[in-house]
A and B are shown apart, each in its own frame.
Chain A
Amino acid sequence: MSRYFTDEHEWIDVEGEIATVGITDYAQEQLGDIVFVELPAEGTTFEKGDDAAVVESVKAASDVYAPISGEVVEANGALEDEPALVNSDAEEDGWFFKLRIADTSELEGLMNEAAYKKFVASL
């Protein structure tokens, strides 16, 4: 399994043709207490960059974009009952949705963990 990062602060785990998408620990830290997550319905298809989810902190709503194109095969229902999972475990249990990857070439150019860490340090 490989993990990729975007400069919009998403992480993507790729296993075969399925990508699991979440927001990074850095992102949840920036957002603060998360009180609501709006997830895409199964079967929705996204182009890379489409609005895919919304994460609401106490203060503000922020869009989460689809980091790659694909079809939603599962949304993390656990976030409906416990949105704070994104704060406590952003990069594991706090995942948002799984996509069936439409075009693996879109993964090229995304960052690995070391590159993302360096990117965050530069912000």
Chain B
Amino acid sequence: MTAIDDVAALEAELPLEALPLDAWHRAKGARMVGFAGYHMPIQYEGIMAEHSWTREHAGLFDVSHMGQLTFSDETGGASVDAALETLLPSDIKGLKPFRQRYSMLLDAEGGILDDLMVSRPGDGAFEGAAIYMVVNGATKYDDIGWMIEHLPDDVTMNHMADQALLALQGPEAGEAMAALIPEAADLIFMQSGPFTWRGVPLWISRSGYTGEDGFEISVPGDSVALLADALCALPQVKPIGLGARDSLRLEAGLPLYGHDLSPAVSTIGADLGFAIQKRRREEGGFIGHGRVMKELAEGPGSKRVGLKIEGRLPAREGAQIYAGDVLVGEVTSGGFAPSVGAPIAMGWVSLPYSALDSALEIEVRGKRIAAAVAPMPFVPHRYRRKA
């Protein structure tokens, strides 16, 4: 038999690099795999246990493979905002200090090049940069190339390659944060700010990608092990691998770039229209606007949907979706959902078959399993929206 982690299969031919917490993960007994060009922990004690721990307590994820970028100019941010509004469909000019937004990079045809988080540091953080951005690890060098091509000369982009990123996620994340950095525990969802811990400058946002309440913490790479140790010394916190991160985000109905999102698909079909604020829809002026407007008016050709699956057999990425004899789509993420106790999936389905409760079939190894379009998230979000 063959034991293949599909995450490992994504590994490129390039030699893998070590991130700042590499030795820390190994010392904690992590099984390491290649992902996005780095050695990454896929699991410690087991995906199921780590998944449940995060849903009940707080999990610490190392997401240092993601790209952290800042954008600066000589005009106090005006050039950055204007330039980024040509690249991103979201309202950047209206982004207030200490706030963040989900957005994406679109190509000229409106296909999705990456999804990302964009935030506005207040004065002083990140050396006075106007915008701080976190992009996916597997796409960061492509993103940087794309942005260099499209940004004007008066905007300076800095890739903070030495900066680490941790995500603390789960219902006890706030309590854990309060034990270490009490002021940061007052943040609410999509708020962020600069903090200091034992003299180390941190940028903390109340966000994450598991559907749980939690934080993302940007920390210099040379201090991240110290911070990870301090967090994992708390009774609420255990280190969690990429395996559980994937099952958590799937249950949360959050799309994963390279799987559920790609240049072949569009924002509106992906159900990410919320990232394009009214002014941007109307005014346009961003790359890919034509496709967005067309799909807002006419509807997309196909849509990203959640799929409830009958029985115990998981449907994985690539499984084809049928309505009778008609091939109507494909699973883009799928697996066993520990908190649901059943297999679930996310996929793209052509518009006429994408309505809630549409009865479909998924082909797994030549067999058809019954599935239905289901509402997402599969597990309710628990973001902390109010102080």
User: Contacts A9-B3, A59-B243, A64-B1 hold; do A36 and B314 have CB atoms under 8 A apart?
Assistant: yes
Which of chain B's residues have a CB closer than 8 A to the CB of A121?
A: none
Task: Say yes or no: is B70 at the interface (Cβ < 8 Å to chain A).
Answer: no
**Binary per-residue interface labels of chain A (1-21) against chain B in the complex, 1 for a CB within 8 Å, 0 otherwise:** 000000011100000000000
Which of chain A's residues have a CB closer than 8 A to the CB of B338?
A: 58
Contact A55 B313 (CB under 8 A): no
Task: Say yes or no: is B4 at the interface (Cβ < 8 Å to chain A).
Answer: yes
Among A48-72, those with CB < 8 Å from B are 54-65
Among B4-44, those with CB < 8 Å from A are 4-7, 42-43
Count residues on chain A whose CB falls below 8 Å from chain B CBs: 25
Query: Given the complex of chains A and B, what is the CA–CA distance between A56 and B334 in angstroms?
Result: 12
Contact A32 B313 (CB under 8 A): no
Contact B312 A36 (CB under 8 A): yes
Query: Given the complex of chains A and B, what is the CA–CA distance between A54 and B4 in angstroms?
Result: 12
Task: Say yes or no: is B238 at the interface (Cβ < 8 Å to chain A).
Answer: no
Contact B365 A54 (CB under 8 A): yes
Task: Say yes or no: is B71 at the interface (Cβ < 8 Å to chain A).
Answer: no
Closest beta carbon of chain B to A112's beta carbon, Å: 19
Task: Say yes or no: is B2 at the interface (Cβ < 8 Å to chain A).
Answer: yes
User: Contacts A32-B43, A36-B312 hold; do A58 and B1 have CB atoms under 8 A apart?
Assistant: no
Among candidates A9, A10, A27, A35, residue contacting B312 with C-beta atoms closer than 8 Å:
A35
Among candidates A31, A54, A56, A59, residue contacting B246 with C-beta atoms closer than 8 Å:
A59
Among candidates B1, B51, B316, residue contacting A27 with C-beta atoms closer than 8 Å:
B1
Query: Given the complex of chains A and B, what is the CA–CA distance between A33 and B3 in angstroms?
Result: 12
Contact A35 B6 (CB under 8 A): no
Among A17-42, those with CB < 8 Å from B are 23, 27, 30-33, 35-36, 38
Closest beta carbon of chain B to A29's beta carbon, Å: 9
Which of chain A's residues have a CB closer than 8 A to the CB of B3?
A: 9, 27, 30-31, 62
Among candidates A23, A27, A33, A56, residue contacting B48 with C-beta atoms closer than 8 Å:
A33
Query: Given the complex of chains A and B, what is the CA–CA distance between A61 and B42 in angstroms?
Result: 16
**Shortest Cβ distance from A31 into B: residue:** B3
Which of chain A's residues have a CB closer than 8 A to the CB of B7?
A: 59
Query: Given the complex of chains A and B, what is the CA–CA distance between A31 and B365 in angstroms?
Result: 19
Contact B1 A56 (CB under 8 A): no
Contact B1 A10 (CB under 8 A): yes
Which of chain A's residues have a CB closer than 8 A to the CB of B336?
A: 33, 35-36, 56, 58
Contact A62 B1 (CB under 8 A): yes
**Shortest Cβ distance from B45 into A: residue:** A32
Task: Say yes or no: is B379 at the interface (Cβ < 8 Å to chain A).
Answer: no
Query: Given the complex of chains A and B, what is the CA–CA distance between A13 and B243 in angstroms?
Result: 33
Contact B47 A33 (CB under 8 A): yes
Contact A60 B316 (CB under 8 A): yes
User: Contacts A33-B48, A56-B336 hold; do A61 and B1 have CB atoms under 8 A apart?
Assistant: no
Which of chain A's residues have a CB closer than 8 A to the CB of B48?
A: 32-33, 58
Which of chain A's residues have a CB closer than 8 A to the CB of B6?
A: 59-60
Which of chain B's residues have a CB closer than 8 A to the CB of A56?
A: 313-314, 336
Task: Say yes or no: is B247 at the interface (Cβ < 8 Å to chain A).
Answer: yes
Which of chain B's residues have a CB closer than 8 A to the CB of A63?
A: 1-2
Which of chain B's residues have a CB closer than 8 A to the CB of A32?
A: 43, 46-48, 243
**Binary per-residue interface labels of chain B (172-216) against chain A in the complex, 1 for a CB within 8 Å, 0 otherwise:** 000000000000000000000000000000000000000000000
For the complex of A and B, the 10 pairs showing the least CB-CB separation, nearest first, are: A35-B336, A30-B3, A33-B48, A64-B1, A58-B47, A60-B6, A58-B336, A36-B312, A8-B1, A31-B3
Known: A32-B43, A58-B51. 10 other contacts (CB 8 A): A8-B2, A9-B3, A35-B312, A36-B343, A38-B313, A55-B1, A59-B7, A62-B1, A62-B2, A83-B312
A-B contact pairs, 27 of them (CB 8 A): A9-B3, A10-B1, A27-B1, A30-B3, A32-B47, A33-B336, A35-B314, A36-B312, A56-B336, A58-B47, A58-B48, A58-B51, A58-B243, A58-B247, A58-B335, A59-B6, A59-B243, A59-B246, A60-B5, A60-B6, A60-B316, A61-B314, A62-B1, A62-B4, A63-B2, A64-B1, A83-B312
